[in-house]
Chain A
């Protein structure tokens, strides 16, 4: 693809940051290639239940971006695609992009007949594997592009033929093969986003050993109308109502044994999730264990409002130990409130670990010669080489911060083109 006289901006990652950079640059008149590894755009934001502080759903924001993308001919979107190799250098990065087969072409109308025909179930990637979905699936109701996907094992198996037979638009292509695309880009913006800190490393907080201990990322899916519970926040063990819930802040973050840095967004995420619990359960007891509540600037009012809730308790002391209640198996949470010097051992119905932000694409996932800090975040030191980080690839950011930073990255990329 050399249709842009070499003046192409490649954006790696199609989450909120990547979309923003791509759009801002394209709307300024530049050619952009947007590379996304999932079959849809929107990434982590699409998986959120609601934004803080306004508590609007992620469709707000994503929808307008999808609309802008759909009508902008200067953005070429590759989904199910990853950068496989890099050559060239500053001013002319030669990217080799591998596109995985989707087995469904652009004729798809998202009618869902293929899914009806398909019998194979796979773990649902959109819901973090918390439930199962048909092997021929629409990633989520608001997916962009609005097009089904066939899991490779479905396409290769007997279900593939059934799906093809069921499709009345000739949209299923079982012969779809991985493709390799080469492009030359004058500027590359890395917006590969984040993933939650591996909760398997938080055994001392009961994850994986004590039931009803979940991560904040799973909590977003529980609270989301597009999630596996249809937005009903329930205990994973029995699907029962939440009468008593605890939040463990800094679960891995600000911890020299795990992530030495503050992940920045978990405090507000928890405060928001507490509000979501309150919306569904007016009488639920909510306990939030924290070191400092980092609700910056205007977010302070969100925090202050929750403090007025008589059934929300803030304990200044982290959850240091979690065990299973011998009778019910539910989490028993131990902490000391450093404001009173009082220790408590409390049984709770559900424990949410406010896990932090880790860069999603490490050295092995992204072959670009990126300068990274000790934690894997992309630094600013390579700006002069036409390589820029944006969003959570460069630091833990909120959605709003991601959008701002991504806009800044678009300007940096445009400057790279002007310099040529």
Chain B
């Protein structure tokens, strides 16, 4: 499914045709232009195309934000309904508007309230669970995700956490409880001295105990 990338704004309206370039920016048309005709779903290739059309890396947090707004259920796939939801939620009606809305949204998420951010933060982890019974995400992917997501609000802590997770060997995968623990750690524990951690230790999973220990040793 060869498609030529384009940076310019589409002008002409023609809808369905052999022409692959979406002439119209309506969400429906955009969807069709990225979707696999057979499965009627945007698949990883389509997303890659979308990224390059938006001029961003596919690892950019904005794609994750888009998926969040679309409430996309499966990583790397957008269904038609999700796509329309997302455009509606972003109040975007064109590629240009989408691009602007996502950039805006990224700024908003950086300043988001705790509840709002937590919603996104939680979504990000669930989004990474590919299989039905999957409960954990490999630590390597978690490191990427932490830098991307937690980094929006707590870049310093996120950096240290990633540094620790890469260095340790005990935790090969991270579960939901640990993931949500990372965020609470950033909001509840004074940093970098972690003076109040000891008394709150029972509120946190062991991986954060070990992280705190590592931090203290590193400081000493």
B partners with A: no
Task: Give the B-binding residues of A (Cβ under 8 A).
Answer: none
